[in-house]
Amino acid sequence: MIAERYINGAVLLGLIALPLLALTADEIFTITLTTRAVILALAAVGLNIALGIGGMVSFGHAAFFGIGGYAMGILAFHAQTFTPLDLGAVEIGGTKSMPVIWLVATLISALVAWVIGLLSLRTTGVYFIMITLAFGQMFYYFAISWGTYGGEDGLSIYVRNGFPGLNTLVPIQFFALCFTALCGALILQWRLRASAFGLALNAVRQTPQRVETVGLNPMRLKLVAFVISGAITGLAGALFADLNRFVSPTMFSWQLSGELIILIIIGGVGRLMGPVIGAAIFVALEHWLGGLTDYWHVWLGTILLLIVLFGRGGVIGLLTGKEGPHV
């Protein structure tokens, strides 16, 4: 059995080495694929904070992913059409600057996560799964029927947004940005778990009654975790939109919420690198199986079924021989 920290190190090294190898071999598409995996991993790291540590099975995290995407889409749309963005009381201009877009995406996702969390955390179990699903669907249908920003067709952004000092149109530079964001989120998750807050949250997942008895408020702990979780997934959404230079309501779809959970399950629930391994495997499967057969979802479904039925703890659980936390 292999210790988890070696696995973690190997995965990070692999994520750095793969695009560099691709760069020397001039395989630009591989860099784009890796970037896709990194961004999905970032979204799943966000979800893992709610799901893996906090035990909140959110089936609506696509809402935050989509909000991040649309934050980028709307700001860049106004910048590329030179129209002001009318916020009722004030009018602001659009922007093509990534740091500003990231800030907006993160803040709005956090705000929405706070509202959704406040309402949803009144419920538990299946009801929580279903109410988060319902909120996700609400945003999905809203995006479809909101014609100003493309409705069902989505929005195309013609030039990727800029980052000071970098040329984001060069795939490897954009990859570096996304990878840095992922590392930031991983460090945050790692520190969070070890902090007093993370320990309390872990305890809330296991026995909320005891946490309440020692004088902590489980609801507030969960809400804070949910907000952090939503904000990270929102940031991933903004990056994903920038990768594709396109946003559409599918970023809000419930299949995406399901896929984010799948990433975590494949890698290992509540593990630091679980989402990263899951995302890497998912993107690899999507690419290779998708190239072999049009019906690759059958195989994805079968693999998933086997993992749920027999492979408790995902890939990391399999490699370390330890099951990991239960949700």
Partner 1 sequence: MSTILIIEQVLNGLQFGVMLFLMAAGLTLIFGVMGLINLAHGSLYMVGAFAAAWVAGATGSFLLALAAALAAAAAAGALIEVVVIRRLYRAAHLDQVLATFALILIFSEGTRYIFGSFPLFLDVPDYLSGPVSLPGGIQYPLYRLVLIGVGLVVALGLWWLTAFTRVGIQIRAGENDREMIAALGIDISMLYTLVFAIGAALAGLAGALVGAIQSVQVGMGEPVLILAFVVIVIGGIGSIRGAFVGALLVGLTDTLGGIFLPEFFKLFMDNGPATQTGSALAAMSVYILMSIVLVLRPSGLFGARA
Residues in 27-66 at the binding interface with partner 1, rule: CB under 8 A: 51, 57, 59
- CB under 8 A: which stretch of 15-23, 127-135, 162-170, 284-292 binds partner 1? 127-135
Cα separation, 157 vs 72, in Å, equals 9
What does the block give as tokens for 276?
Answer: 């990263």
Can you tell me the distance from the alpha carbon of 47 to that of 279, in angstroms, rounded to the nearest whole number?
A: 13
66, 172, 189, 323 from 21: Cα distances, Å: 32, 11, 29, 34
Q: Is 204 in the site for partner 1 (CB under 8 A)?
A: no
Q: Is 120 helix (H, G, I), strand (E, B) or coil?
A: helix
The pair phi, psi for residue 237, each rounded to 5°, is: -60, -45
Return the residue of 13, 119, 166, 169 that touches partner 1, per CB under 8 A.
119
Query: 245 vs 297, which CB is nearer to partner 1?
Result: 297
287 sits near partner 1 (criterion: CB under 8 A): no
Stretch that binds partner 1, among 4-12, 37-45, 92-100, 114-122 (CB under 8 A): 114-122
> Does 6 contact partner 1 by CB under 8 A?
no
Q: Which residue in 147, 164, 165, 215 binds partner 1 (CB under 8 A)?
A: 147
Report which secondary-structure segment, H or E, holds 131: helix 125-145
List the x/- string, 167-186, binding to partner 1 by CB under 8 A: --------------------
Cα→Cα distances 214→72, 210, 316, Å: 43, 6, 33
Shortest Cβ 306–partner 1 spacing (Å): 9
Among 100, 103, 144, 192, binds partner 1 (CB under 8 A): 144
Complete DSSP assignment for 134-198: HHHHHHHHHHHH-GGGTGGG-EE-SSPPBBTTB-TTSHHHHHHHHHHHHHHHHHHHHHHHHSHHH
Contact call for residues 203 and 211 (beta carbons, < 8 A): yes
Contact between 134 and partner 1 by CB under 8 A: the answer reads yes
Among 34, 95, 137, 161, binds partner 1 (CB under 8 A): 137
Work out whether 1 is an interface residue with partner 1 (CB under 8 A).
no
Least Å distance, CB 21 to partner 1, is 32
Q: With residue 239 as reference, give the H or E element that holds it.
A: helix 218-244
Query: Which CB sits closer to partner 1, 96 or 205?
Result: 205
CB of 147 to partner 1, least distance (A): 6
Contact status: 83 vs partner 1 (CB under 8 A):
no
In degrees, to the nearest 5, what angle opens at C-alpha 24 toward C-alphas 21 and 25? 85
| CA angle in degrees (0–180, nearest 5) for 26-237-70 | 115
Chain positions 301 to 320 lying near partner 1, rule: CB under 8 A, are 301-302, 304-305, 308-309
Residues that bind partner 1 (CB under 8 A): 51, 57, 59, 119-120, 122-127, 129-131, 133-135, 137-138, 141-142, 144-148, 254, 258, 261-262, 265, 269, 295-298, 300-302, 304-305, 308-309, 326-327
